[in-house]
Structure 1
């Protein structure tokens, strides 16, 4: 035999006589039958071989689960240092004796470790612990796969005899039995543990329903004990389920098929539960009748949660009405009905509570929610049996009226709705609240034929109702559509104008009432569009409605503040007034943004200190009606910078004169409507009253709209501070203004 061979050169014919005595064989087999631990059995096999072959040192290594490495298992008489060093070594064609045997699945005999090619990289390790030869036999499983290796080491260079080879072959066979028995037992133990620990109820019955086995979850689910449930009758447990489902179940499983579905179960205490059930029919070897494996889970909580999620996805949690997505789904259903019935029609009423924000702001959202709940109940009281009511969000409700488009019928309904909505609300806090309704009505198919169009039409009608004073309703008409299209076109043009810098400022001088000298100018925005200058009253409302007013206002301030710096450079003692839209004071955040915008612009365009004392911001009278604390703080911050605050168009709003004492204001600008008829004694008295009040509050007074000698004489008698109007100056372009100022 070639001392360097790594392949088995011996005839692998069956062993005719055992190299291991029957007594010793029996001892090992007894250990296997007795389910001794694998480690104990493998150590016993190694010792058995070592006793048989004096001077040998046995070693059993197991192949890792990935089939790539050898792991130590039993080598009681080999150095622990050596065992640890080879633990986890990768198998390969030239990896010692055991690594090569596992790799090829064949016996590998190495008579001299010191000279063999397989040990070139590893020889120092065995030689250092006195191991000089190694014969390795692969441990093969019943399926032909390598499970590990059995090796015999000697402390001398040594070749095996036939008896030696029979011995290691039988040792490998015993080791194979031990390893496979252990893995089979472990698998059974794992299966048994899984069976017991599974949260799913598992039951195995014979064809007659006799319980063969069941896990604890099964008894827990049914609320029974093993002694109480020797037989399983699915007709009783799941008898409350659909008869159709049960018939189908038994048809399937009696035919040997699997069935899966949801059933309604009854526990031992008669409580019901929802079950997700899977039944598998099978036949054991030699059996003629089917046995059944029942697996089911209690999904009661899951079903309840799913139902809640389903409900919340379609209904408003506050009012329990249909929510926005589900209402839109209902509208789509109504529209689709027209495909089956050409005469199908319905109406859509969009409703909004008037001044509901004031209720929320003054009483809080909790009481506001109480109002919304009561509103929903009142509307439901006016509905027909097929009508569908939904809450779209906030204080916005919508009503679908199937098969009804008659204007008279709908008008009566909305009038009835407004009548019940406008009645007093008694809240839990004993607060008494009133609100009213604005509504917009669109009809299918005469106004629109799609969901989006129908909503848009109703929204336009609602907007029209609010624009005309609220507390009323409007049907959609073509004029509204034309107005909406014109507004949309105007809004798009405004966006492009902002991007293309198509705006410019004109300035109207404000003169001293006594000397008629220019002391101030008001910046007025103009839009050069389609070859003409567009006045603010033609586009400001569209800018406010679209939110573009914020960006537009910022542009005006930047340009006006730059012009003010030009005045300063020319040593002109002229102030600058800038109009600020109410929308820039709409929220606390916008007020903060306005202040930051002004200070940041000043810092950017003037590093030496901006002349804020020459800057005036003009706000509208309607601002005085807003929530006051933060607004007063914002105006106070502006005044601390040196900026003056003017109330523009005073007298045209709804504010109380008492608000003037509460707000940080410097100037009152009396609207031109008060001096239109100078012979009107009432108007003259009002102007005198405003001037007197302003004097008492230490406020300056400017009169707007002076266009004639009579008007000038009239306001001069009232001892106002400043005058603005075409009598003196029309709005001027900056170049023209600078010419006037330098000559003035």
Structure 2
């Protein structure tokens, strides 16, 4: 009998399918072949009985009780096939397998067919599709990036992932998504500068190359952050630069590990996939953002354009009418702008327009609508503010602009002034449209020009309902 078992074992050792058999009466695992060890990482001495192994190896306990358990407890079962299950390997990774069962004398033979690669391919395809759908629906970038991070962490359950976004103006990295890293850690690294020896992500951003740190505690890049990493429970960090289709740095994708470790070939494949997916997401989002910027904002000053001013203005106009709250428009025109262009050139004229926009953004609140509505004409819509406050803001604009200057291409100091018209409607005003209020502001502006320039004039829109 022993020789027969040895012969069977020899045969099973040659098959590429993972196989184990257990005693029907005791459940004791009596044999596993080499393919089983290669798949799950266990040796025979690591295992006791089949039930204990399945209980420990099944991530979802309901799945064990509802799917696996009945086949173990049923001693009369002769065969079963296509039982899909996720099983935890010795190293903590998860394999997706089909389980087949057959009965031979007093043994149950268990066959495991690995379809993890197929599952991974399907999940990655689904993740990419979900991500593109979110981009198409204009979802928030943070939500899109979180979807990518969650997908990678689901595929590699031993990993904690993060996506940092590169802030080009500040030369630093901002947290895009890192839902499973501690808040204190994310707060500490938010704004970290790119540099050749700044952790893993800072170095990857600086070099635009992958940076693998297998042991944070002993790596020079991590010396300033070693205690922070220890408190966060991370011991290794592999970071990949996220690059656009033209090679521009968009951010970094990082995989953290709780123990010192180096990536396998499959890990490299996962990092490549995540970086590409993040690149598509960020680049698509920014392209869409840029199109919206062009559609709604003035390309030179960054303020709203004429169309966006009227769109947003109509919304605010209706809400103030319903709420019976005041509304005002400040209209502004640069004095003798043609002369500035003629004397100093159009580049200097553009600098004047930008300077004016900068000053207006400093003085106005974020809830106000600021727009460039013509060549050198600007309009500002202020809601829920009384007229005295609006006139004070208009005077601040006039004063700050009068005191400002730009440098010409030949380094000459160029000063300029503006004429301002203000039109307001009270909370009890009836039958007033946005266009009518803008016309009133334009008349007030004309009055400022006519009476000497560099001043503020005010018109009140009055239109009360007739009693007859």
Normalising by structure 1, we get a TM-score of 0.26
Q: Which has the higher contact order (CA 8 A, sep 6+)?
A: 2
Normalising by structure 2, we get a TM-score of 0.40
